[in-house]
């Protein structure tokens, strides 16, 4: 979703559609899987855990995209799209509008296990693909892609906040307590623990409020928005989101709850 530079080089699949991951890359996946499965225990939402069970991801190697696609297509009609480490917004929205979820085909190095600014294959598959087996989440993501594809550059900035506070950093307020469905939290041990601390502010989900809330990608999130049910995303997808974008533009943004980037320490 960005055009910034990256140190990572994505791998390309061969004629058989498979990527020849190295032993070290597979070991990194195994270590990330083991650590994060422990970290999200009792914290991930039931819908995510059900999706993870459907995907049946290997614990000892990076899954091939065809393995993930077989499950996604059978459940919601989605599939993964092999992309470079970074893609622009036009490509990002076009893929979502076509029910293709972009997966960068590289995996983080050991020295960036705890924090990675660009999304890697662990973030995309472990963090997001399990939720894409859920019809409401899949419908919301598809609608979001179609809206973004047709939106102006200015409107896309507002839409990015909707994606950020749902698909990436969304929480549920369930009868059993707070649960995580956002992939940016589910794939990060630090963010998982932080989301359950008393430090961040938890707000009830409201589309207009979300569209007006500034965020930064390089810090722990000071604000999370909580849905009452994952099916609320389906309801959001049926509303006139672009009318809400217009209203958000009219009202303007809320004051940031974080310091300017020039003086803040990244987390």
Question: How many residues are present in the chain?
Answer: 267
pLDDT number for residue 86:
82
Query: Which residue, 254, 116, 252, 132, is CA-closest to 189?
Result: 116
| Span 195-252, pLDDT tens digits | 999 999 999 999 999 999 999 999 999 999 999 999 999 999 999 999 999 999 999 9
Closest CA to 64 of 18, 102, 96: 18
pLDDT at 4: 55
At residue 3, the pLDDT reads 46
Check residue 64 and give its pLDDT.
98
Segments of the chain scoring below 50 in pLDDT = 1-3, 263-267
- The pTM for the full model equals 0.94
Q: Is 143 helix (H, G, I), strand (E, B) or coil?
A: helix
pLDDT at residue 5 in the model? 65
**Chain centroid to CA 112:** 18
> Measured between alpha carbons, how far is 120 from 187 in angstroms, rounded to an integer?
10
The pLDDT, as a whole number, for residue 267 is: 32
Query: Is the Cβ–Cβ distance between 224 and 137 less than 8 Å?
Result: no
């Amino acid at each position: 979703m960005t055009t910034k530079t990256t140190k990572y080089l994505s791998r390309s699949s061969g004629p058989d559609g498979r990527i020849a991951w190295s032993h070290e890359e597979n070991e990194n996946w195994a270590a990330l899987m083991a650590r994060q499965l422990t970290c999200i225990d009792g914290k991930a939402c039931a819908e995510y855990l059900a999706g993870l069970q459907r995907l049946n991801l290997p614990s000892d190697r990076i899954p091939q995209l065809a393995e993930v696609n077989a499950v996604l297509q059978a459940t919601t009609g989605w599939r993964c799209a092999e992309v470079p480490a970074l893609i622009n917004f036009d490509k990002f929205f076009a893929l979502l509008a076509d029910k293709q979820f972009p997966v960068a085909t590289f995996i983080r190095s050991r020295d960036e296990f705890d924090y990675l600014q660009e999304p890697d294959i662990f973030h995309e598959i472990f963090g997001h693909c399990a939720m894409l087996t859920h019809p409401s989440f899949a419908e919301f993501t598809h609608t979001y892609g179609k809206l973004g594809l047709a939106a102006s550059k200015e409107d896309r900035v507002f839409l990015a906040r909707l994606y950020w506070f749902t698909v990436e950093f969304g929480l549920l307020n369930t009868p059993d307590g707070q649960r995580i469905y956002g992939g940016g939290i589910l794939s990060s041990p630090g963010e998982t623990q932080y989301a359950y601390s008393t430090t961040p502010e938890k707000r009830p989900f409201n589309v207009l409020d979300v569209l007006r809330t500034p965020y930064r990608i390089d810090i722990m999130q000071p604000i999370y928005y909580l849905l009452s049910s994952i099916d609320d995303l389906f309801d959001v997808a049926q509303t006139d989101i672009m009318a809400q974008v217009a209203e958000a533009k009219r009202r303007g943004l809320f004051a940031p709850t974080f310091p300017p980037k020039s003086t803040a320490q990244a987390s």
